[in-house]
A and B are shown apart, each in its own frame.
Chain A
Amino acid sequence: MSDAKITPEIVAEHGLNAEEYARVLEIMGREPNITELGIFSVMWSEHCSYKSSKKWLKTLPTTAPWVIHGPGENAGVVDIGDGLTAVFKMESHNHPSFIEPYQGAATGVGGILRDVFTMGARPVANLNALRFGAPDHPKTRHLISGVVSGIGGYGNCVGVPTVGGEVNFHPGYNGNILVNAMTVGIAPADRIFTSQARGVGNPVVYVGSKTGRDGIHGATMASAEFSADSEEKRPTVQVGDPFTEKLLIEACLELMDTDAIVAIQDMGAAGLTSSSFEMASKGGLGVDLALDTVPMREAGMTPYELMLSESQERMLMVLQPGKEHVARAIFEKWHLDFAVIGRLTDTGRMVLTWHGETVADLPIDPLAEAAPEYDRPWEPTPAPAPLDPATVPVVPWTEALTRLMGSPDLASRRWIWEQYDHMVMGDTVQRPGGDAAVVRIHGTDRGLAATTDCTPRYVGADPVMGGRQAVAEAWRNLTATGARPLAVTDNLNFGNPEKPRIMGQVVGACQGIAEACRALDFPVVSGNVSLYNETEGQAIPPTPTIGGVGVIDDLDRMATVAVPAEGEAILVIGGGPADGWLGQSLYLREIAGREEGAPPPVDLAVERRTGDLVRGLIQAGRVTACHDVSDGGLLVAVAEMALAGSIGATLSVDTTPAALFGEDQGRYVVTLPEAEAASLLADLGGTARRIGVTGGDALVIGADSVALATVRTAHDGWLPGIMSSTPGRS
């Protein structure tokens, strides 16, 4: 196979441009064979090299005293005290989920789990940030149903609770849905595993599932050898096996309790190529692999296919010499494949053999260092025309509230999260539906809070402000539970970066994220970039999803959103008399059918001050419930708290749409016993104001009211309603 002629067509089909191919020739000093070309193609792909985004990713703050490993490892690692760390990352599986929603979403979950347990962490929580097209688009229901059952099918089986996430709907995702999966794990601080290979001569070991022809793209199937047989032989949809993943988790964690592992790396996208390259490159070493010893699922596989396969549930490890038998016994107990497939060398080269014959020989460092990095042209997103408040229609608040609570972006997600096992592992102390999910750190009275956030309509209108807001909202959601926000993982989803307008969104969002992370001491410790989310020239709304993690030091001092009792005072902390920002609000979109104006500004100093204050009140036990104000504004926040506690509220507030539904940032609604309200208000001065009292079974303002039951019907009914309507095929 290695004598296939490399034609310009084959080079192009491997996604390399002329300039990149010239660099290949220079590094190799000869024409590469097809296997070598495949390796270059994978290593220099956008996915592996971040060639369009690297310049801007470097501007993100990534350090803090509590950060143990930032970007560059399989997942970020932060210190959470008591000798433990939180290990987490978010990753996209957008395109595969659009093509085959069940398997696409399932393998997305599998991949992100492996990134986390590779580092020695036991996964303790999964979250998912999903974006679908218009609810009435013919494909949407099919995609929702497939993605949700795929996430559940995988996560439920591996026994990691799926505790949170978010869902948005917008016609901008009709042709490109987003499936961003996040896993949080816990590992002992003194037992973190990385991918840095060490020790010339150490064995390189393959464990997990066998390698098949999964995920080898049609475009790279070009050479004569691959064109002969039927398509049936070459599945490009990866199929997940959560049962094997569960065994792999247990086997890896069992082996990690011994001293056998030197380095470990999961085989994700680009499989054996990127995992072996990564390990050798980080260790400054070389590696020899005998590809004929790789466990194979089907006959007749070639070195090219083995190096490019994206078969799931596989790991590559470097072991201490002489520990092979320890590892083999553990993997065999768990019925998993185990094979020594190579050795580390001091050559700095990757040498691949096939039954003793060399089939590829490439230098590792030059290839990694020469990975393209582009400063793509970009243009800033033009500032949107400000919204003229006089043009915003006024609808009676009772009607507006019911419509908003039953609108696609605000309606209850219960139909989704009831299909996820959100309680397995016995530590879920805040189930889905609140500001952030909270899982107890096993065996302690401490907790980890986690959330995912992004408001794409804000980012689209103003990428810098939208980037800031995504970070600020994640920080706020953690704060609202009483957690100390620690760090974030980012999943940057955009259109084609070769278009300056799109690249401008990337640049703007990175700037906003960097500003907010810096101001809030909330560094980026891991992340993923997904570009080219476009169909027929239509790019997705820019969606830099932020996954945030925080720690709660005492679960007795945790807040939830549910109104806990009748007769409690309701306060708003943050904001002020000038509140009423309707630009890019859900009120404007859902009631007036307009997506206009600038998004609400995020003042990071105020954000931080207000959040620190609220967290202090929760930790001091001075408030009984807390909810941040976000999509839909103040009245929606109060309504969500009322529904969660099944207790109504009577408010004394202005009833203009701006006052009730404005989306001004940096605000929280809290409740507390009436008797303590006056002293708290006195302590907080102008930062807080009283807006009402809890009680009854309705939301009341002045002479008007809406029954909680009415709001609940709208809120709970929307998603089951669209999902139970006639199944259709597009």
Chain B
Amino acid sequence: MKARIHVSLKPGVLDPQGKAILGALESMGFDGVQDARQGKLIELDLDDDTDADTARARVDDMCRRLLANTVIEKYTIDLEG
């Protein structure tokens, strides 16, 4: 089973990297981009015999304790397979 965790900055926290991306896109002539936020994607390969609910609970625990800093970041978890 694969877990895909998307970690990004909470709304309202300034994202200097996202800002730089937006600025670059604008300067390259791509209009119509309202905002850009940069995050990270973490992929975990989990034991295949784990059931989805247990897996989700464990990954959520991982996120809270290590993978995201909930002072500034939020996360979403996708399970697959």
Spell out A's residues near B (CB within 8 Å).
726-729
Contact = CB atoms under 8 A, between A and B. Distances in A.
Interface residues of B, number: 4
Interface string B11-34: 000000000000110011000000
A729 B28 CA distance: 8
Nearest 7 CB-CB pairs, A to B?
A726-B27, A727-B24, A727-B27, A729-B28, A728-B28, A728-B27, A727-B23
Contacts of A726: 27
A292 to B, nearest CB: 24
A727 B23 CA distance: 9
Interface of B: 23-24, 27-28
Contacts of B23: 727
A510 to B, nearest CB: 45
B26 to A, nearest CB: 9
6 contacts: A726-B27, A727-B23, A727-B24, A727-B27, A728-B27, A728-B28
Contacts of B28: 728-729
B31 to A, nearest CB: 15
Nearest to B23: A727
Contacts of B24: 727
B57 to A, nearest CB: 29
Nearest to B20: A727
Contacts of A729: 28
A689 B24 CA distance: 54
A590 B28 CA distance: 31
Contacts of B27: 726-728
A729 B27 CA distance: 10
A729 B25 CA distance: 11
A630 to B, nearest CB: 37
Nearest to A729: B28
B11 to A, nearest CB: 26
B20 to A, nearest CB: 8
Nearest to A726: B27
A142 to B, nearest CB: 11
A728 B23 CA distance: 11
A728 B25 CA distance: 10
A726 B23 CA distance: 9
A637 to B, nearest CB: 39
A728 B28 CA distance: 7
B27 to A, nearest CB: 4
A722 to B, nearest CB: 15
B53 to A, nearest CB: 31
A185 to B, nearest CB: 35
B52 to A, nearest CB: 27
Nearest to B25: A727
A727 to B, nearest CB: 5
Contacts of A728: 27-28
A726 B29 CA distance: 11
Nearest to B27: A726
A134 B24 CA distance: 22
A697 B23 CA distance: 39
A299 to B, nearest CB: 13
Nearest to B28: A729
A655 to B, nearest CB: 44
A727 B29 CA distance: 12
Nearest to A725: B27
A726 B25 CA distance: 10
B65 to A, nearest CB: 20
A727 B27 CA distance: 7
A591 B10 CA distance: 53
Interface centre among A727, A728, A729 (most CB of B within 10 A): A727
Contacts of A727: 23-24, 27
B76 to A, nearest CB: 26
A576 to B, nearest CB: 53
A671 B23 CA distance: 48
A78 to B, nearest CB: 45
A421 B23 CA distance: 28
A153 to B, nearest CB: 15
A254 to B, nearest CB: 28
B55 to A, nearest CB: 24
A636 to B, nearest CB: 35
A143 to B, nearest CB: 16
B9 to A, nearest CB: 21
A257 B48 CA distance: 46
A729 B30 CA distance: 13
A127 to B, nearest CB: 29
A728 B24 CA distance: 8
A727 B25 CA distance: 9
A726 B27 CA distance: 7
A700 to B, nearest CB: 43
A381 to B, nearest CB: 43
A728 B27 CA distance: 8
A727 B28 CA distance: 8
A727 B19 CA distance: 13
A725 to B, nearest CB: 10
A378 to B, nearest CB: 46
A418 B8 CA distance: 29
A726 B20 CA distance: 11
A446 to B, nearest CB: 43
B10 to A, nearest CB: 27
A198 to B, nearest CB: 44
B45 to A, nearest CB: 13
A36 B27 CA distance: 52
A131 B27 CA distance: 27
A729 B24 CA distance: 10
A728 B29 CA distance: 11
A517 to B, nearest CB: 47
